[in-house]
Chain A
Protein backbone atom coordinates (compact mmCIF):
# COMPACT_ATOMS: atom_id res chain seq x y z
CA UNK A 1 0.00 0.00 0.00
CA UNK A 2 2.84 2.38 0.89
CA UNK A 3 4.39 1.60 -2.49
CA UNK A 4 1.14 2.29 -4.29
CA UNK A 5 0.71 5.69 -2.68
CA UNK A 6 4.33 6.59 -3.37
CA UNK A 7 4.05 5.59 -7.00
CA UNK A 8 0.84 7.52 -7.45
CA UNK A 9 2.50 10.56 -5.93
CA UNK A 10 5.48 10.12 -8.25
CA UNK A 11 3.17 9.89 -11.21
CA UNK A 12 1.27 12.97 -10.19
CA UNK A 13 4.27 15.18 -9.49
CA UNK A 14 7.06 14.00 -11.73
CA UNK A 15 7.13 15.13 -15.36
CA UNK A 16 7.93 11.84 -17.07
CA UNK A 17 4.81 10.32 -15.62
CA UNK A 18 2.57 12.97 -17.12
CA UNK A 19 0.95 12.44 -20.46
CA UNK A 20 3.11 13.72 -23.25
CA UNK A 21 0.23 13.59 -25.71
CA UNK A 22 2.62 12.61 -28.42
CA UNK A 23 4.74 15.75 -28.14
CA UNK A 24 7.74 14.20 -26.53
CA UNK A 25 10.37 12.96 -28.91
CA UNK A 26 13.16 10.65 -27.83
CA UNK A 27 14.77 13.42 -25.86
CA UNK A 28 11.53 15.00 -24.81
CA UNK A 29 11.70 17.79 -27.36
CA UNK A 30 8.80 19.20 -29.30
CA UNK A 31 9.31 18.50 -32.95
CA UNK A 32 7.74 18.63 -36.32
CA UNK A 33 9.39 19.84 -39.45
CA UNK A 34 7.13 18.05 -41.83
CA UNK A 35 5.77 19.76 -44.92
CA UNK A 36 2.73 22.01 -44.49
CA UNK A 37 -0.16 19.86 -43.33
CA UNK A 38 -2.61 18.47 -45.85
CA UNK A 39 -4.97 17.47 -43.11
CA UNK A 40 -7.27 14.59 -43.86
CA UNK A 41 -8.56 14.69 -40.31
CA UNK A 42 -7.88 15.98 -36.85
CA UNK A 43 -7.35 14.07 -33.66
CA UNK A 44 -8.07 16.25 -30.69
CA UNK A 45 -7.79 13.86 -27.81
CA UNK A 46 -8.81 15.83 -24.76
CA UNK A 47 -9.18 13.27 -22.02
CA UNK A 48 -6.52 10.76 -21.08
CA UNK A 49 -7.26 7.53 -22.88
CA UNK A 50 -5.65 4.24 -21.99
CA UNK A 51 -4.46 1.84 -24.64
CA UNK A 52 -6.88 -1.05 -25.11
CA UNK A 53 -6.21 -3.82 -22.61
CA UNK A 54 -4.59 -6.30 -25.07
CA UNK A 55 -2.10 -3.61 -26.13
CA UNK A 56 -1.28 -2.73 -22.53
CA UNK A 57 -0.67 -6.40 -21.73
CA UNK A 58 1.45 -6.90 -24.82
CA UNK A 59 3.60 -3.92 -23.82
CA UNK A 60 3.91 -5.32 -20.34
CA UNK A 61 5.04 -8.70 -21.70
CA UNK A 62 7.57 -6.89 -23.86
CA UNK A 63 9.08 -5.33 -20.75
CA UNK A 64 8.85 -8.40 -18.52
CA UNK A 65 10.17 -10.66 -21.29
CA UNK A 66 8.44 -13.74 -20.00
CA UNK A 67 5.38 -15.69 -21.04
CA UNK A 68 5.07 -17.22 -17.59
CA UNK A 69 1.38 -16.75 -16.80
CA UNK A 70 2.10 -16.44 -13.08
CA UNK A 71 3.51 -12.97 -13.61
CA UNK A 72 0.28 -11.71 -15.11
CA UNK A 73 -2.23 -13.68 -13.03
CA UNK A 74 -3.07 -10.86 -10.63
CA UNK A 75 -3.77 -8.57 -13.58
CA UNK A 76 -5.71 -11.08 -15.65
CA UNK A 77 -7.92 -11.93 -12.68
CA UNK A 78 -9.04 -8.32 -12.45
CA UNK A 79 -8.89 -7.48 -16.13
CA UNK A 80 -12.43 -6.26 -16.59
CA UNK A 81 -11.92 -3.89 -13.67
CA UNK A 82 -8.83 -2.69 -15.51
CA UNK A 83 -10.82 -1.85 -18.63
CA UNK A 84 -10.88 -5.13 -20.57
CA UNK A 85 -14.15 -6.03 -22.29
CA UNK A 86 -16.41 -9.05 -22.31
CA UNK A 87 -19.46 -8.14 -24.34
CA UNK A 88 -21.11 -11.50 -23.65
CA UNK A 89 -21.41 -10.35 -20.03
CA UNK A 90 -22.37 -6.81 -20.98
CA UNK A 91 -18.94 -5.37 -20.20
CA UNK A 92 -17.67 -2.90 -22.76
CA UNK A 93 -14.15 -1.58 -23.15
CA UNK A 94 -13.25 1.14 -20.64
CA UNK A 95 -10.30 3.38 -21.40
CA UNK A 96 -10.69 6.03 -18.73
CA UNK A 97 -7.87 6.20 -16.21
CA UNK A 98 -9.66 6.35 -12.89
CA UNK A 99 -8.00 6.54 -9.49
CA UNK A 100 -9.41 3.16 -8.49
CA UNK A 101 -8.16 1.58 -11.70
CA UNK A 102 -4.76 3.18 -11.20
CA UNK A 103 -4.47 1.76 -7.69
CA UNK A 104 -5.60 -1.67 -8.83
CA UNK A 105 -3.11 -1.70 -11.72
CA UNK A 106 -0.23 -0.62 -9.49
CA UNK A 107 -1.06 -3.28 -6.91
CA UNK A 108 -1.31 -5.92 -9.60
CA UNK A 109 2.12 -4.94 -10.88
CA UNK A 110 3.79 -5.56 -7.55
CA UNK A 111 4.42 -9.31 -8.05
CA UNK A 112 6.10 -8.44 -11.36
CA UNK A 113 8.19 -5.52 -10.17
CA UNK A 114 9.30 -7.28 -6.99
CA UNK A 115 10.26 -10.48 -8.79
CA UNK A 116 13.83 -11.67 -8.93
CA UNK A 117 13.20 -12.28 -12.64
CA UNK A 118 12.76 -8.56 -13.26
CA UNK A 119 15.60 -7.52 -10.99
CA UNK A 120 17.85 -10.10 -12.61
CA UNK A 121 16.85 -8.81 -16.01
CA UNK A 122 17.46 -5.12 -15.41
CA UNK A 123 19.07 -4.58 -11.98
CA UNK A 124 19.60 -1.18 -10.32
CA UNK A 125 20.90 1.13 -12.09
CA UNK A 126 22.86 -0.49 -14.93
CA UNK A 127 19.84 -1.94 -16.69
CA UNK A 128 17.54 1.06 -16.35
CA UNK A 129 18.32 2.47 -19.79
CA UNK A 130 17.24 -0.85 -21.31
CA UNK A 131 14.22 -0.95 -19.02
CA UNK A 132 13.11 2.49 -20.21
CA UNK A 133 13.83 1.53 -23.81
CA UNK A 134 11.61 -1.52 -23.49
CA UNK A 135 8.87 0.36 -21.68
CA UNK A 136 8.85 3.70 -23.49
CA UNK A 137 10.73 3.03 -26.71
CA UNK A 138 13.23 5.81 -26.10
CA UNK A 139 16.40 6.71 -24.20
CA UNK A 140 16.43 7.90 -20.61
CA UNK A 141 15.40 11.54 -20.41
CA UNK A 142 16.38 14.15 -17.85
CA UNK A 143 13.03 13.65 -16.18
CA UNK A 144 13.69 9.91 -15.91
CA UNK A 145 17.11 10.61 -14.44
CA UNK A 146 15.52 12.90 -11.86
CA UNK A 147 13.16 10.15 -10.71
CA UNK A 148 16.01 7.63 -10.60
CA UNK A 149 18.14 9.98 -8.51
CA UNK A 150 15.29 10.60 -6.12
CA UNK A 151 14.71 6.87 -5.66
CA UNK A 152 18.44 6.26 -5.39
CA UNK A 153 18.54 8.58 -2.42
CA UNK A 154 16.12 6.41 -0.47
CA UNK A 155 17.41 4.19 2.26
CA UNK A 156 16.50 0.91 0.57
CA UNK A 157 18.07 -2.13 -1.03
CA UNK A 158 18.83 -2.03 -4.78
CA UNK A 159 16.01 -4.49 -5.39
CA UNK A 160 13.53 -2.34 -3.48
CA UNK A 161 14.68 0.70 -5.44
CA UNK A 162 14.21 -1.15 -8.69
CA UNK A 163 10.77 -2.28 -7.60
CA UNK A 164 9.75 1.29 -6.93
CA UNK A 165 11.09 2.56 -10.22
CA UNK A 166 9.51 -0.34 -12.08
CA UNK A 167 6.13 0.46 -10.52
CA UNK A 168 6.42 4.13 -11.40
CA UNK A 169 7.32 3.43 -15.05
CA UNK A 170 4.78 0.69 -15.65
CA UNK A 171 1.97 2.71 -14.12
CA UNK A 172 2.93 5.96 -15.85
CA UNK A 173 0.67 7.46 -18.44
CA UNK A 174 3.44 7.34 -21.02
CA UNK A 175 3.49 3.57 -20.68
CA UNK A 176 -0.26 3.10 -20.46
CA UNK A 177 -1.47 5.54 -23.08
CA UNK A 178 1.15 5.78 -25.81
Chain B
Protein backbone atom coordinates (compact mmCIF):
# COMPACT_ATOMS: atom_id res chain seq x y z
CA UNK B 1 0.00 0.00 0.00
CA UNK B 2 2.81 2.35 1.01
CA UNK B 3 4.64 1.54 -2.20
CA UNK B 4 1.50 2.24 -4.20
CA UNK B 5 1.14 5.67 -2.63
CA UNK B 6 4.80 6.45 -3.24
CA UNK B 7 4.50 5.32 -6.86
CA UNK B 8 1.40 7.45 -7.29
CA UNK B 9 3.14 10.53 -5.89
CA UNK B 10 6.16 9.97 -8.15
CA UNK B 11 3.79 9.60 -11.10
CA UNK B 12 2.01 12.86 -10.28
CA UNK B 13 5.28 14.75 -9.82
CA UNK B 14 6.68 13.34 -13.06
CA UNK B 15 3.48 14.26 -14.85
CA UNK B 16 3.62 17.80 -13.53
CA UNK B 17 7.25 18.13 -14.55
CA UNK B 18 6.53 16.78 -18.04
CA UNK B 19 3.62 19.16 -18.45
CA UNK B 20 5.79 22.03 -17.34
CA UNK B 21 8.42 21.06 -19.89
CA UNK B 22 6.00 20.37 -22.71
CA UNK B 23 3.87 23.47 -22.30
CA UNK B 24 6.67 25.84 -21.33
CA UNK B 25 5.20 26.96 -18.04
CA UNK B 26 6.87 29.69 -16.07
CA UNK B 27 10.47 29.13 -15.04
CA UNK B 28 11.45 29.06 -11.41
CA UNK B 29 13.07 32.33 -10.37
CA UNK B 30 15.29 32.64 -7.35
CA UNK B 31 14.39 34.99 -4.55
CA UNK B 32 17.21 37.31 -5.61
CA UNK B 33 16.09 37.36 -9.24
CA UNK B 34 12.56 38.28 -8.17
CA UNK B 35 13.84 41.00 -5.86
CA UNK B 36 15.98 42.36 -8.67
CA UNK B 37 13.11 42.33 -11.15
CA UNK B 38 10.58 43.97 -8.86
CA UNK B 39 13.14 46.50 -7.63
CA UNK B 40 13.49 47.70 -11.23
CA UNK B 41 9.85 48.74 -11.36
CA UNK B 42 8.75 49.41 -7.78
CA UNK B 43 9.58 53.11 -7.77
CA UNK B 44 7.86 53.67 -11.11
CA UNK B 45 4.73 51.71 -10.21
CA UNK B 46 4.42 52.11 -6.45
CA UNK B 47 6.48 55.25 -5.81
CA UNK B 48 8.53 53.43 -3.21
CA UNK B 49 10.98 50.55 -2.91
CA UNK B 50 10.07 47.05 -1.77
CA UNK B 51 8.74 46.80 1.77
CA UNK B 52 9.77 44.25 4.35
CA UNK B 53 6.45 42.44 3.93
CA UNK B 54 6.99 42.21 0.19
CA UNK B 55 10.52 40.92 0.68
CA UNK B 56 9.13 38.28 3.06
CA UNK B 57 6.55 37.29 0.50
CA UNK B 58 9.19 37.01 -2.22
CA UNK B 59 11.27 34.83 0.08
CA UNK B 60 8.30 32.51 0.61
CA UNK B 61 6.77 32.47 -2.84
CA UNK B 62 9.62 33.45 -5.19
CA UNK B 63 8.33 33.71 -8.78
CA UNK B 64 4.76 33.21 -7.64
CA UNK B 65 4.94 36.49 -5.79
CA UNK B 66 5.59 38.56 -8.93
CA UNK B 67 2.01 38.80 -10.09
CA UNK B 68 0.30 39.52 -6.74
CA UNK B 69 2.87 42.15 -5.81
CA UNK B 70 2.62 43.86 -9.20
CA UNK B 71 -1.15 43.65 -8.99
CA UNK B 72 -1.13 45.41 -5.63
CA UNK B 73 1.02 48.21 -7.01
CA UNK B 74 -0.90 48.61 -10.25
CA UNK B 75 -4.23 48.92 -8.47
CA UNK B 76 -2.88 51.03 -5.61
CA UNK B 77 -2.79 54.75 -4.80
CA UNK B 78 0.38 55.79 -6.60
CA UNK B 79 -0.19 54.08 -9.94
CA UNK B 80 -2.66 56.68 -11.28
CA UNK B 81 -0.03 59.36 -10.58
CA UNK B 82 2.50 57.41 -12.56
CA UNK B 83 0.04 56.95 -15.44
CA UNK B 84 -0.45 60.71 -15.42
CA UNK B 85 3.32 61.23 -15.55
CA UNK B 86 3.60 58.78 -18.43
CA UNK B 87 1.05 60.63 -20.54
CA UNK B 88 2.34 64.07 -19.61
CA UNK B 89 5.91 63.24 -20.52
CA UNK B 90 5.11 61.20 -23.62
CA UNK B 91 2.61 63.72 -25.00
CA UNK B 92 4.69 66.66 -23.72
CA UNK B 93 1.60 68.29 -22.22
CA UNK B 94 1.48 69.60 -18.64
CA UNK B 95 0.94 72.80 -16.66
CA UNK B 96 -1.29 75.66 -17.67
CA UNK B 97 -0.67 78.83 -19.57
CA UNK B 98 -2.72 81.50 -21.37
CA UNK B 99 -5.96 79.98 -20.18
CA UNK B 100 -5.15 76.54 -21.51
CA UNK B 101 -4.98 73.62 -19.09
CA UNK B 102 -2.26 71.37 -20.48
CA UNK B 103 -2.89 68.89 -17.68
CA UNK B 104 -6.12 67.58 -19.22
CA UNK B 105 -4.53 64.63 -21.12
CA UNK B 106 -2.60 63.51 -18.03
CA UNK B 107 -5.64 64.04 -15.82
CA UNK B 108 -7.66 61.69 -18.01
CA UNK B 109 -4.94 59.03 -17.85
CA UNK B 110 -4.90 59.34 -14.06
CA UNK B 111 -8.69 59.08 -13.87
CA UNK B 112 -8.80 55.99 -16.09
CA UNK B 113 -6.02 54.29 -14.11
CA UNK B 114 -7.60 55.21 -10.77
CA UNK B 115 -10.88 53.63 -11.83
CA UNK B 116 -9.34 50.86 -13.96
CA UNK B 117 -11.42 52.02 -16.92
CA UNK B 118 -10.68 50.94 -20.50
CA UNK B 119 -7.53 52.57 -21.85
CA UNK B 120 -9.42 53.14 -25.13
CA UNK B 121 -11.16 56.00 -23.35
CA UNK B 122 -7.98 57.98 -23.79
CA UNK B 123 -9.40 58.43 -27.29
CA UNK B 124 -13.09 57.86 -26.85
CA UNK B 125 -14.03 59.51 -23.54
CA UNK B 126 -16.85 62.00 -24.09
CA UNK B 127 -15.61 64.06 -21.15
CA UNK B 128 -12.44 65.61 -19.84
CA UNK B 129 -11.03 65.52 -16.30
CA UNK B 130 -9.99 68.62 -14.38
CA UNK B 131 -7.13 68.99 -11.91
CA UNK B 132 -9.40 67.86 -9.06
CA UNK B 133 -10.22 64.65 -10.96
CA UNK B 134 -13.78 65.75 -11.69
CA UNK B 135 -15.52 65.26 -15.03
CA UNK B 136 -15.83 68.43 -17.12
CA UNK B 137 -16.66 69.16 -20.75
CA UNK B 138 -13.57 69.25 -22.94
CA UNK B 139 -12.29 72.68 -23.82
CA UNK B 140 -12.12 72.92 -27.61
CA UNK B 141 -15.79 73.82 -28.01
CA UNK B 142 -16.30 71.03 -30.56
CA UNK B 143 -19.78 69.48 -30.69
CA UNK B 144 -18.20 66.08 -29.92
CA UNK B 145 -15.44 64.77 -27.68
CA UNK B 146 -12.64 62.32 -28.34
CA UNK B 147 -10.65 61.99 -25.14
CA UNK B 148 -7.25 63.64 -25.19
CA UNK B 149 -7.56 64.49 -28.89
CA UNK B 150 -10.26 67.05 -28.15
CA UNK B 151 -8.23 68.97 -25.60
CA UNK B 152 -6.70 72.32 -26.43
CA UNK B 153 -3.53 70.93 -24.86
CA UNK B 154 -3.26 68.32 -27.60
CA UNK B 155 -4.31 70.69 -30.35
CA UNK B 156 -1.94 73.50 -29.42
CA UNK B 157 1.02 71.27 -28.60
CA UNK B 158 0.79 69.53 -31.96
CA UNK B 159 -0.31 72.47 -34.09
CA UNK B 160 1.28 72.74 -37.52
CA UNK B 161 0.76 73.14 -41.26
CA UNK B 162 -1.78 70.82 -42.90
CA UNK B 163 -2.44 69.51 -39.35
CA UNK B 164 0.44 67.12 -39.93
CA UNK B 165 1.63 67.50 -36.33
CA UNK B 166 -1.75 66.56 -34.89
CA UNK B 167 -2.28 63.64 -37.25
CA UNK B 168 1.32 62.45 -37.00
CA UNK B 169 1.33 62.51 -33.21
CA UNK B 170 -1.99 60.65 -33.14
CA UNK B 171 -0.53 57.88 -35.28
CA UNK B 172 2.87 57.77 -33.59
CA UNK B 173 1.56 57.86 -30.05
CA UNK B 174 -1.63 55.86 -30.30
CA UNK B 175 -0.75 53.38 -33.05
CA UNK B 176 3.08 53.47 -33.00
CA UNK B 177 2.96 53.96 -36.76
CA UNK B 178 4.80 56.29 -39.11
CA UNK B 179 4.15 57.15 -42.71
CA UNK B 180 3.97 55.47 -45.10
CA UNK B 181 2.10 52.66 -43.42
CA UNK B 182 0.63 49.44 -44.72
CA UNK B 183 -1.90 50.30 -47.42
CA UNK B 184 -4.07 47.41 -46.33
CA UNK B 185 -4.42 49.12 -42.95
CA UNK B 186 -4.75 52.68 -44.20
CA UNK B 187 -6.03 52.79 -47.80
CA UNK B 188 -4.57 55.84 -49.56
CA UNK B 189 -6.71 58.70 -50.82
CA UNK B 190 -6.81 58.58 -54.63
CA UNK B 191 -4.43 61.09 -56.24
CA UNK B 192 -7.12 63.07 -58.01
CA UNK B 193 -8.72 64.07 -54.71
CA UNK B 194 -5.52 65.63 -53.36
CA UNK B 195 -4.17 69.13 -53.98
CA UNK B 196 -1.49 69.09 -56.72
CA UNK B 197 1.57 69.23 -54.45
CA UNK B 198 0.60 65.93 -52.86
CA UNK B 199 -0.09 64.22 -56.15
CA UNK B 200 3.64 64.03 -56.85
CA UNK B 201 4.78 60.48 -57.29
CA UNK B 202 8.47 61.06 -57.87
CA UNK B 203 11.14 63.77 -57.87
CA UNK B 204 10.67 66.31 -60.60
CA UNK B 205 12.78 69.34 -61.40
CA UNK B 206 11.13 72.38 -59.90
CA UNK B 207 9.07 70.49 -57.35
CA UNK B 208 7.64 73.31 -55.31
CA UNK B 209 7.19 71.65 -51.92
CA UNK B 210 9.16 69.59 -49.46
CA UNK B 211 11.73 67.25 -50.88
CA UNK B 212 9.68 66.63 -53.99
CA UNK B 213 10.07 62.93 -53.46
CA UNK B 214 7.07 60.73 -53.68
CA UNK B 215 4.84 63.07 -51.69
CA UNK B 216 1.83 61.04 -52.63
CA UNK B 217 3.05 57.90 -50.87
CA UNK B 218 2.82 59.42 -47.40
CA UNK B 219 0.34 62.24 -47.87
CA UNK B 220 -2.32 60.02 -49.41
CA UNK B 221 -2.50 58.48 -45.93
CA UNK B 222 -1.52 61.54 -43.89
CA UNK B 223 -4.32 63.48 -45.56
CA UNK B 224 -6.95 61.08 -44.28
CA UNK B 225 -5.73 61.46 -40.71
CA UNK B 226 -5.27 65.22 -40.89
CA UNK B 227 -8.72 65.94 -42.33
CA UNK B 228 -10.68 65.47 -39.04
CA UNK B 229 -8.51 68.22 -37.50
CA UNK B 230 -9.40 70.77 -40.18
CA UNK B 231 -11.77 72.78 -37.97
CA UNK B 232 -9.43 73.25 -35.00
CA UNK B 233 -7.46 76.50 -35.01
CA UNK B 234 -4.09 77.47 -33.58
CA UNK B 235 -5.67 78.03 -30.14
CA UNK B 236 -7.16 74.56 -30.25
CA UNK B 237 -10.66 75.97 -30.64
CA UNK B 238 -13.32 74.44 -32.87
CA UNK B 239 -14.26 76.67 -35.82
CA UNK B 240 -17.28 75.28 -37.69
CA UNK B 241 -16.78 77.77 -40.54
CA UNK B 242 -13.30 76.46 -41.42
CA UNK B 243 -12.90 75.86 -45.15
CA UNK B 244 -9.60 73.98 -45.25
CA UNK B 245 -8.58 76.19 -48.17
CA UNK B 246 -5.00 77.32 -48.62
CA UNK B 247 -4.44 81.00 -47.75
CA UNK B 248 -2.54 82.31 -50.78
CA UNK B 249 -0.78 84.90 -48.59
CA UNK B 250 0.76 82.32 -46.27
CA UNK B 251 3.09 79.36 -46.54
CA UNK B 252 1.82 76.04 -47.84
CA UNK B 253 -0.47 74.24 -45.43
CA UNK B 254 -1.91 77.33 -43.72
CA UNK B 255 -5.49 78.33 -44.13
CA UNK B 256 -7.23 81.46 -42.76
CA UNK B 257 -7.43 82.75 -39.15
CA UNK B 258 -5.02 80.30 -37.59
CA UNK B 259 -6.57 77.27 -39.27
CA UNK B 260 -4.66 74.81 -41.40
CA UNK B 261 -5.24 73.76 -44.97
CA UNK B 262 -6.69 70.47 -46.07
CA UNK B 263 -4.99 67.92 -48.33
CA UNK B 264 -8.16 67.71 -50.40
CA UNK B 265 -8.75 69.75 -53.54
CA UNK B 266 -12.53 69.81 -53.67
CA UNK B 267 -14.05 72.58 -51.53
CA UNK B 268 -16.86 70.44 -50.19
CA UNK B 269 -14.33 67.84 -49.11
CA UNK B 270 -11.69 70.25 -47.77
CA UNK B 271 -14.20 71.90 -45.46
CA UNK B 272 -15.62 68.64 -44.21
CA UNK B 273 -14.33 66.64 -41.26
CA UNK B 274 -15.38 63.42 -42.95
CA UNK B 275 -12.55 61.03 -43.61
CA UNK B 276 -11.52 57.44 -43.19
CA UNK B 277 -9.45 55.83 -40.45
CA UNK B 278 -7.94 52.43 -41.09
CA UNK B 279 -10.48 51.89 -43.84
CA UNK B 280 -13.51 52.94 -41.79
CA UNK B 281 -15.52 55.94 -42.98
CA UNK B 282 -15.78 58.47 -40.16
CA UNK B 283 -17.81 61.64 -39.74
CA UNK B 284 -15.31 63.58 -37.64
CA UNK B 285 -12.44 63.34 -35.17
CA UNK B 286 -14.52 61.35 -32.71
CA UNK B 287 -15.26 58.76 -35.36
CA UNK B 288 -11.58 58.62 -36.25
CA UNK B 289 -10.63 58.19 -32.60
CA UNK B 290 -13.17 55.39 -32.09
CA UNK B 291 -11.90 53.55 -35.18
CA UNK B 292 -8.31 53.97 -34.03
CA UNK B 293 -9.10 52.76 -30.52
CA UNK B 294 -10.76 49.62 -31.92
CA UNK B 295 -7.64 48.69 -33.82
CA UNK B 296 -5.22 46.12 -32.38
CA UNK B 297 -2.51 48.65 -33.19
CA UNK B 298 -3.87 50.85 -30.42
CA UNK B 299 -3.50 48.26 -27.66
CA UNK B 300 -0.16 47.06 -29.00
CA UNK B 301 1.10 50.61 -28.97
CA UNK B 302 -0.19 51.12 -25.42
CA UNK B 303 1.84 48.11 -24.32
CA UNK B 304 4.93 49.44 -26.10
CA UNK B 305 4.51 52.93 -24.62
CA UNK B 306 3.95 51.65 -21.11
CA UNK B 307 6.97 49.32 -21.23
CA UNK B 308 8.93 52.26 -22.61
CA UNK B 309 7.94 54.40 -19.65
CA UNK B 310 7.83 51.96 -16.76
CA UNK B 311 11.04 50.17 -17.70
CA UNK B 312 12.65 53.52 -18.51
CA UNK B 313 13.77 52.48 -21.95
CA UNK B 314 15.21 54.79 -24.58
CA UNK B 315 13.09 55.53 -27.66
CA UNK B 316 15.16 53.18 -29.79
CA UNK B 317 15.02 50.39 -27.20
CA UNK B 318 11.24 50.71 -26.99
CA UNK B 319 10.78 50.62 -30.74
CA UNK B 320 12.95 47.51 -30.89
CA UNK B 321 10.68 45.51 -28.54
CA UNK B 322 9.85 42.24 -30.30
CA UNK B 323 6.44 42.87 -31.92
CA UNK B 324 5.55 39.20 -31.54
CA UNK B 325 5.81 39.54 -27.78
CA UNK B 326 3.66 42.66 -27.80
CA UNK B 327 1.04 40.95 -29.96
CA UNK B 328 1.05 37.96 -27.62
CA UNK B 329 0.54 40.17 -24.58
CA UNK B 330 -2.40 41.91 -26.26
CA UNK B 331 -3.88 38.60 -27.42
CA UNK B 332 -3.59 37.22 -23.87
CA UNK B 333 -5.29 40.27 -22.37
CA UNK B 334 -8.10 40.09 -24.90
CA UNK B 335 -8.96 36.54 -23.96
CA UNK B 336 -10.38 37.90 -20.72
CA UNK B 337 -11.06 41.54 -21.52
CA UNK B 338 -11.80 42.95 -24.97
CA UNK B 339 -11.48 46.49 -23.71
CA UNK B 340 -8.70 46.43 -21.11
CA UNK B 341 -7.51 49.15 -18.79
CA UNK B 342 -3.92 50.37 -18.72
CA UNK B 343 -3.71 48.60 -15.35
CA UNK B 344 -4.56 45.25 -16.92
CA UNK B 345 -2.37 45.76 -19.98
CA UNK B 346 0.63 46.63 -17.88
CA UNK B 347 0.02 43.81 -15.43
CA UNK B 348 -0.04 41.33 -18.31
CA UNK B 349 3.03 42.88 -19.88
CA UNK B 350 5.11 42.90 -16.71
CA UNK B 351 4.18 39.32 -15.83
CA UNK B 352 4.98 38.08 -19.33
CA UNK B 353 7.92 35.70 -19.18
CA UNK B 354 9.80 37.35 -22.05
CA UNK B 355 9.53 40.73 -20.40
CA UNK B 356 10.82 39.40 -17.08
CA UNK B 357 13.64 37.56 -18.85
CA UNK B 358 14.58 40.62 -20.85
CA UNK B 359 14.74 42.87 -17.80
CA UNK B 360 16.81 40.34 -15.87
CA UNK B 361 19.11 39.78 -18.84
CA UNK B 362 19.54 43.53 -19.32
CA UNK B 363 20.47 43.87 -15.65
CA UNK B 364 23.15 41.25 -16.13
CA UNK B 365 24.75 43.25 -18.90
CA UNK B 366 24.82 46.53 -17.07
Give the B-binding residues of A (Cβ under 8 A). Answer: 21-23, 25-26, 29, 31-35, 37-45, 49, 51-52, 54-55, 58-59, 61-62, 85-89, 92-93, 133-138, 178
The docked-state distance in angstroms from the alpha carbon of A59 to that of B358 is 26
Point out which of B36, B313, B356 has the most chain A C-beta atoms below 10 A from its C-beta.
B36
| CB-CB nearest in chain A for B355 | A40
**Given known contacts A31-B33, A40-B322, A58-B47, is B40 in contact with A22 (CB within 8 Å)?**
yes
Besides A22-B366, A39-B361, 11 other A-B contacts (C-beta < 8 A): A33-B29, A34-B29, A35-B28, A41-B313, A41-B325, A43-B362, A87-B93, A133-B51, A134-B48, A135-B49, A138-B50
The docked-state distance in angstroms from the alpha carbon of A34 to that of B364 is 11
**Given known contacts A35-B27, A87-B92, is B362 in contact with A44 (CB within 8 Å)?**
yes
Distance from A171 Cβ to chain B, minimum over Cβ atoms (Å): 16
Q: In the complex, are the beta carbons of B36 and A22 less than 8 A apart?
A: yes
- Give 8 A-B contacts (CB < 8 Å), ordered by A residue: A32-B363, A37-B361, A40-B321, A41-B325, A43-B358, A44-B365, A49-B312, A137-B55
Q: In the complex, are the beta carbons of A92 and B92 less than 8 A apart?
A: yes
Q: In the complex, are the beta carbons of B33 and A34 less than 8 A apart?
A: yes
| CB-CB nearest in chain A for B47 | A58
Q: In the complex, are the beta carbons of B85 and A54 less than 8 A apart?
A: yes
Task: Determine whether B44 belongs to the interface, using a CB cutoff of 8 Å to chain A.
Answer: yes
Distance from A37 Cβ to chain B, minimum over Cβ atoms (Å): 4
Task: Determine whether B280 belongs to the interface, using a CB cutoff of 8 Å to chain A.
Answer: no
Distance from A46 Cβ to chain B, minimum over Cβ atoms (Å): 9
Distance from B235 Cβ to chain A, minimum over Cβ atoms (Å): 14
Q: In the complex, are the beta carbons of B48 and A137 less than 8 A apart?
A: yes
Give the A-binding residues of B (Cβ under 8 A). Answer: 27-30, 32-33, 35-36, 39-40, 42-44, 47-52, 55, 78, 81-82, 85, 88-89, 92-97, 100, 102, 157, 307, 311-314, 317-318, 320-322, 325, 352-366
Q: In the complex, are the beta carbons of A41 and B49 less than 8 A apart?
A: no
Q: In the complex, are the beta carbons of B357 and A178 less than 8 A apart?
A: no
Q: Which residues of B contact A93 (CB under 8 A)?
A: 89
Distance from A47 Cβ to chain B, minimum over Cβ atoms (Å): 10
Among B36, B52, B81, B353, point to the contact of A133 (Cβ < 8 A): B52
Distance from A41 Cβ to chain B, minimum over Cβ atoms (Å): 4
| CB-CB nearest in chain B for A57 | B47
Q: In the complex, are the beta carbons of A40 and B325 less than 8 A apart?
A: yes
Q: In the complex, are the beta carbons of A25 and B36 less than 8 A apart?
A: yes
Among B49, B51, B97, B355, point to the contact of A88 (Cβ < 8 A): B97
The docked-state distance in angstroms from the alpha carbon of A93 to that of B90 is 10
Among B27, B81, B89, B321, point to the contact of A34 (Cβ < 8 A): B27
Q: Which residues of B contact A52 (CB under 8 A)?
A: 44, 85, 89
The docked-state distance in angstroms from the alpha carbon of A29 to that of B364 is 12
Among B30, B44, B81, B358, point to the contact of A39 (Cβ < 8 A): B358
Q: In the complex, are the beta carbons of B32 and A59 less than 8 A apart?
A: no
Q: Which residues of A contact B28 (CB under 8 A)?
A: 35
| CB-CB nearest in chain A for B322 | A40
| CB-CB nearest in chain A for B42 | A137
| CB-CB nearest in chain B for A22 | B363
Q: Which residues of B contact A85 (CB under 8 A)?
A: 88-89, 94
Q: Which residues of A contact B92 (CB under 8 A)?
A: 87, 92
The docked-state distance in angstroms from the alpha carbon of A47 to that of B357 is 22
Q: Which residues of B contact A137 (CB under 8 A)?
A: 39, 42, 48-51, 55
Distance from A157 Cβ to chain B, minimum over Cβ atoms (Å): 29
Q: Which residues of A contact B44 (CB under 8 A)?
A: 51-52, 55
Among B29, B97, B157, B317, point to the contact of A42 (Cβ < 8 A): B317
